[in-house]
Structures are given as C-alpha cells and as structure tokens.
Amino acid sequence: MVYVVLEHEIYDFEALRQVYVDDAERRRRMGCVGGRIWRGADDADTVSVVLEWDTVDHAREFAGSFETEQAMHWATVKAPTTRVTVYEEAHSSPF
C-alpha cells in the first residue's frame, strides 16, 4: 500500500473539508483509492489528511502537483509549509 500524508495546521475545518470533498474527482483520476481526515485529539486545528494510492508514482505526482499546493492554500492552512510525505507500507500486522 502507498499513502500520502498531508499534515496541516488550519484555521477552519469546514473550509478544509470542503476543499477535500471538491478535490475528490481529481484525486480519483490521479490514482487515489481512498482517504480520511484526522484531527488532533488535543488540538482540533492540527489535521492530517491520509490518502491511499494505487502506485508510488501516482502518489508522488499528486504530492508534487501545483493543484495540490493550491488546494492546501485554499484549505486555510495556518503554517506557511504543510508537510507532505509519501509512504510505502513496510510491514503489516493484525495487532
């Protein structure tokens, strides 16, 4: 499995959620097979968007795209730089 994790500090969760929803079709066309938004248990303005991808190349293409950069800007991100990381599964366990 391949994931892109985008870590944000945000001002407005609903604005971020709407950008996430509006960008769904583009992500699907690029090879995204699903995703979730996670909020910090102790800080609701800390958000991670975890997206699953069909290939590493598609994940990297998404992570480095201008559209992704713009979507993060539209999502009312607080910090000037959002951390974007592509992960490949290295080990899996039921527990």
Residue 35's domain is classified under what CATH number? 3.30.70.100
- The domain containing residue 11 runs over which residues? 2-88
* Residue 95 located in a structural domain: no
pLDDT at 9: 87
Contacts of 32 (CB under 8 A, 6+ apart): 51, 52, 53, 54, 58, 62
Chunk the chain into consecutive blocks of 10 residues (it has 95) and report each block's average pLDDT, rounded to whole numbers: 92 90 96 97 94 97 89 70 87 92
* Residue 83 located in a structural domain: yes
pTM for the full predicted model = 0.87
Domains contained in the chain, number: 1
* Residue 79 located in a structural domain: yes
Q: Which two tokens stand for residue 80?
A: 């000037």
